[in-house]
Amino acid sequence: MGGDSTTCAGNCFFVPGELRATLRVLIASSDMCVSEKLLGNVRVTAVYKVRTFNPSKNLYFNVVTVGDNRTMTVEGGGVNATVIQADLAATNGIIHIIDRVLGVPYTTVLDKLRTDPMLQNTYRLGQYQKFNEQLNNADKRFTYFVPRDKAWENAKVAFPSAIKKLFMPEFMHMYGVATLERHLVVSDVPYTMERIKQWSNETHRGAFDSIAGTSSRREVELPTVRGSLRIALS
């Protein structure tokens, strides 16, 4: 996920409303309260990224606006939560109460698509031919490379006719589902980015570009429902 990022001296602690667990992924470094930056800016449209005390993890913020109501969501460790009580002052930082424990999955792939406001175009496209229904199957393991709404908007600018046709009801069942099938991997285990990187390192260990004398670009190929995906790592 893209967006602005910040690293600073102050602390913001996002506390799950039920467990109040002190997880490193929940503590964000920030120079000012994140809610002030987002909720106070009516023009916020991008995802806002903040580093946590875990060097390999970030928190991602988004503001959902419905009428006059603005709700801040935070995503970390692959889990999305809603801020239910913001800006609890402490002597050394700020606490925000959230409704989920970040990093502990609680939804199926389908639930995530259905409830995430940034994935609604992909969800709507998958409703045709009941493509989405399989994503609720707990006995299978899915790796889904999901275009967010911003990605569809960018594609619409680059390929206006093709994307317009893709979302027309008379073409959705033919081309829309086929497009989504190219993004979906069904296997025995889900492929996290860490797993993909590890697999790439094992497959290409010691590989070098014989002409340039530099490390070659590594590629991992994953079989999808329709075709395959080549993921490049450099």
CB-CB contact of 71 with 82 (8 Å): yes
Q: What is the pLDDT of residue 223?
A: 94
> 186 and 109 in contact (C-beta within 8 Å)?
no
Assign domain 4-98 to its CATH architecture.
Roll (2.30)
Report yes or no on whether pTM surpasses 0.75.
no
Question: Is residue 7 over pLDDT 50?
Answer: no
Q: Where are the domains of the chain?
A: 4-98, 109-187, 193-233
What band does 233 get if pLDDT is binned at 50, 70 and 90? confident
Q: Minimum mean pLDDT among 8-12, 21-25, 49-53, 84-88: which range?
A: 21-25
Indicate if the pLDDT at residue 32 is higher than 60: no
Among 60-69, 72-81, 194-203, 211-220, the minimum mean pLDDT is found in: 211-220
CATH number belonging to the domain at 109-187, selected among 2.30.180.10, 1.20.1440.230, 1.20.1050.10, 3.10.580.10: 2.30.180.10
Which residues is 223 bridged to in the sheet? Answer: 228
Tokens of 179: 């497009």
Of 113, 111, 114, the C-alpha closest to 146 is 113
67-104 per-position pLDDT tens digit: 777 788 888 877 888 888 888 888 888 888 889 888 88
Q: Is the pLDDT of residue 125 over 60?
A: yes
Q: Do the domains 109-187 and 4-98 match in fold?
A: yes
